[in-house]
Chain A
Amino acid sequence: MNEFSGDKAEIILAERRYKAITDILESTVNKTDENAWTYTDLFDHVFLHKFLGIPIFLALFWATFQFTFVLSEPFMVIIEMIFGWLGSLAEAGIGNPHLASFVSGGIIDGLGSVLVFVPPIFTLFLALSILEDSGYLARAAFVMDRIMYKLGLHGRSFIPLMMGFGCTVPAIMATRSMDNESDRLITILVNPLITCGARLPVYVLIAGVVFGAGQAGTAIFSLYIMSIALTIIMAFTFRKTLLKGKPSPFILELPAYMVPTAKTVVLHMWERGKVFLKRAGTIIFGTVIIIWFLSMHPWAATAGGELVGNSYIASLGHYIEPLFAPFGWDWMAAVALVFGFLAKEVVVATYGILLGVGEEAVGASLIKLGLFTPLTGYAFMAFVMIYVPCIATIGIISKETNSYKWPIFVTVYLTALAFLIAGLIIGVGRLLGFS
């Protein structure tokens, strides 16, 4: 069929299928007004507009992050208050100092510093669910396809990439719907660059510390834009080098717009958000206990956890610190990044334990100790966004590509890219006079 018509067989089949549907509809449905514009026609003319489509998408995307960051702030304060109260209760009620340190400093501070980010994560998923259920997200895929196709990404990549804003693992599994192997592989390789929900706690903490509440939302938005830009650039690079060829055509049926119902929006939010809660109860909890142990021991040398600088974890941190010193990050950042390989949320939990403060004071402690300037803080967030994906993502890449080669490749290229981008941010920033 390809040789005979010069077109792709799937396009011809799709055209025939839609012609058959149109014929059936014409012979069976009576329209009251042949020329009536529906709301879907009216809004599609705007949202799919040649020039306005992308600016509107970016504006709505920015609104999503403002909504996420500002709206979740009071709820984060409430959770901080609850964990702060639990911490003081544990310290006062447990006589054994070792056990008190474990419960208060390890479990409550460590886990609390992660759980405090439940509100922004759920708020982000709420906003994404509204966009999806209203039918807008499919339009965003359509609008972005114009750029994505030119840069070597298949339009169908958009859905797995959008899912990547939630969690990379199901996003990579969603690439199974792509029948062209090189399109699918490119989508898998670039998907970890899409900033998943697990990285949001790091952004919220660091951006809040270095940019303040007023500008934090904008700083986080810029990171998401950087994430999309890097995804497109890397896809283009892979298309031109490793996986040459043209992406296959994209056929997408746009659903009619609708007013989302509260029930489905909440259900979709919960489906996405529960992954975070599950991780908090399993891998994050386990890692927090390991970090607590390494930061409090040897018990005598750290004077019962008072002198974290003498702990095992500090030794590890000082050993790898030179790798990150050019970026202006200390040993705590080095340790946080290493443990962040297990799950990105652990970066925040590590600070909670190492600073020895409750979750309500992690940000204030970072400011007080002056561990980050706006420049080094922004570079740190960019590094967290790009560097080696979490262990679950590496596992799923291995499973979906049925090889060890691609997960190793992803780990190496993302780590190299993270060093490159963080270095560029620091270099250019210093040239512009930032410290």
Chain B
Amino acid sequence: MSEGDEDMTDFNLKTGKTLGIYAFSLGALYLIVGLLEVLGGYGESIPGDLFGGLALVVVATTYLSGVKGTLNGDYKGLSLLMGGLFLSAVFGILYLLMLGADGLMYLLGEAEEIPGLVDFRPAIWFFILSLPLIHHIRNMTQKTTW
């Protein structure tokens, strides 16, 4: 596959700039929160979690690696952005399921409190933030085959 000559989507220099800025913002957020989790947490909403934090740093690195390419309208950049979105979805859904499990534990009488908004891990919020990007790229790559 040669660079820059792929045209099955409306991905180009113009759309690439918007996507690149979005990816950079998400990557920066993941990086800050991931590092905070690795370093022991910050307040109630960002708990200390070494491996969880490292996982967020991996998501951040994937996004940030794709920013330059995406800004240049390069498909290699777009692929890294899509990889980041995939990981965002994996971790967002994972923490949502964990929240559901906590709720079930409450119903079974094994937990004292029902989980609330404060128990939403940052990865859930970031996943929600990435949904518009997922939607946009999904529309953009509609003609793409597996």
Contacts and interface: CB of A to CB of B under 8 A. Distances in A.
How big is the B interface, by class?
35 or more
A301 interface: no
Interface string A407-428: 0000000000000000000000
B80 A77 contact: no
Interface of A: 33, 35-43, 45-47, 49, 52, 55-56, 58-60, 62-63, 66-67, 70-71, 73-74, 77-78, 81, 218, 221, 256-258
Given A35-B6, A52-B65, A46 B146 contact: no
Contacts of A47: 83
A256 B101 CA distance: 33
Interface string B127-146: 00000000000000100111
28 contacts: A35-B5, A35-B6, A36-B7, A38-B144, A39-B144, A39-B146, A42-B78, A43-B86, A46-B80, A49-B80, A55-B61, A56-B58, A56-B83, A60-B87, A62-B51, A62-B52, A63-B90, A63-B94, A71-B97, A74-B110, A77-B105, A77-B110, A78-B108, A81-B108, A218-B49, A256-B146, A257-B146, A258-B146
B51 A218 contact: yes
A209 B76 CA distance: 46
Interface in B4-63: 5-8, 49-52, 54-55, 58-59, 61-62
Contacts of B5: 35
A315 B19 CA distance: 70
B83 A74 contact: no
Given A52-B80, A66-B94, 6 more contacts: A35-B6, A42-B82, A43-B79, A55-B61, A56-B58, A218-B50
Nearest to A66: B94
The B contact surface, by secondary structure, is: helix
Interface in B63-120: 65, 75-76, 78-80, 82-83, 86-87, 90-91, 94, 97-98, 101, 104-105, 108, 110
Contacts of B82: 42-43, 46
